[in-house]
Chain A
Amino acid sequence: MTRKVIFVILLIVVVGGCTQYTYHGTIEELDADGNMRTHLVYWTKTERKFWFDESSGSIRLLTQCSLRTINFDESEDGIIFYSTINDEGVLRDDESKIPEIGLKEPCGRIIGVKKINQLEEGTLRLEIYCKFVAHKFASGNQTYIKARDGVYEFQIIREESQAFKNGVPKRPVCP
């Protein structure tokens, strides 16, 4: 009997209301190749009337004229862009060169918060320490926002969307 009640409640929750929000913002800044580009960040949140609120596990950063998607993943250590096979470290806080960076080491970080669901509209601050490293299997432009000894600030707005499929902004179009 208890299970049936739980099941009915679950059905109400599933069928019942939830609101989907997209958080996004852009800035004009140099990419690692020295070109002035538009850079977009976005993440999503689902707020439910009867159940827990949910946010995406990553904040994504897309650069105009580039095929690269950077993920700042929520983890136990914060919201971090971890290095992949495509990244090499170029800066530390003291601006020294990092000749080689291993996999899954911080290449960037969201400043000031540990969880994505704590983020709201307003200023999002992030740092980047790496750049794309070319290799034989890379095709197209994979450049992203330039690593620098300083913070980037995005002004984030929140928009309600009917479905994420069409409600999430796309990669800025290349002129």
Chain B
Amino acid sequence: MTVDPQKPRKILVIHGVQTGTDEDIDSDQKIKELVINRLAGTHIQFDTDIYKYEGISDDALERQKKVFGFLTKALTCQTPFSGLLGILVESGVDLIGDVVISLREGDTASIIGDGLIRKILEIYDEGNPLYIVAHSLGTIYAFDAVNKLIKAENGYFDREHRKTWPVQAMVTMGSPIGLSMFGRNAVVEFGVGRKYFRWINYWARTDPVVSGSFYGKPQEGYQIAEKFTTSTEASGWFIQDRVVDTGKAWLMAHMSYWDHPGIGDDLATLITT
């Protein structure tokens, strides 16, 4: 099975930490709107899809939510703020739980990761060149999935033949991948060859998920993902970090990649090359 460069391009979006349910997530539509908006009338054949895993996370966190919900009720049932507090606690468990699941790399993280690989291979079987756009915690799952597929001995990612690549390029936005707590610091090499797999990592200086600073202390320098570059001929990765000015700060910056004009302009180039 190989992909056909003449077929419409597909962008697979992988969301980050999330409250609510799978039904609330529409990041794929945001990316589609962004690219179309920035093309200013120029037509290119592409579509977007999304890999949602909030339902899997929610199922895994059901017990913790119940315990914290019970404790919140027991401690605050006499106050007028108990309802609001309950919502805050539930959202907190939801968000922090997503991160904990990823860090523990246990069964739930494996289910999410395996599901993403299955989704990638489904699109690969259809023959559409695929480009990944991942946000926040989703970038960790995306990074792992691509590296697992490079490592797998199934004939994927033959460096000399892009048609064998289930993913043509990867974009990460607001990624915590540079934080030591996630333990990622190297890519799987392709082997010697002439083609390069592209990874563009967009980050905002005050994004606390990128810097790990709760207070949004501005991150200095230029390189996060580029530190993963190996200089050997066998690398096969072309990694670029790109700093973005979202016009926002702190957590608002973290949520502002989706409609960033520069990312939209870059995506138009990426998915057509």
Contacts and interface: CB of A to CB of B under 8 A. Distances in A.
Interface of A: 6-7, 10, 13-14, 18, 20, 44-46, 48, 51-52, 54-58, 60, 62, 67-69, 71, 73-76, 82, 84-86, 103-104, 135-140, 142, 163-165, 168, 170-171, 173-174
Interface residues of B, number: 42
B38 interface: yes
B205 A173 contact: no
Contacts of A62: 265
Contacts of A173: 40-41
A20 B252 CA distance: 15
Given A60-B265, A168-B261, A67 B272 contact: yes
Contacts of A168: 261-262
Contact of B198 (A18, A73, A84, A135): A84
A135 B163 CA distance: 12
Nearest to A61: B265
Contact of A86 (B240, B242, B252, B273): B273
Contacts of A136: 5, 162
5 contacts: A10-B216, A56-B245, A76-B222, A170-B37, A173-B41
Contacts of B266: 60, 69, 71
B5 to A, nearest CB: 5
B129 interface: yes
A74 B129 contact: no
Contact of B268 (A69, A85, A137): A69
Given A67-B44, A137-B273, A170-B38, A6 B215 contact: yes
B77 to A, nearest CB: 27
Contacts of B42: 67, 140, 171, 174
B168 interface: yes
A90 to B, nearest CB: 18
B245 A57 contact: yes
A67 B218 contact: no
A171 B256 CA distance: 21
B228 interface: no
B272 to A, nearest CB: 5
B245 A69 contact: no
Given A67-B44, A75-B222, A51 B243 contact: no
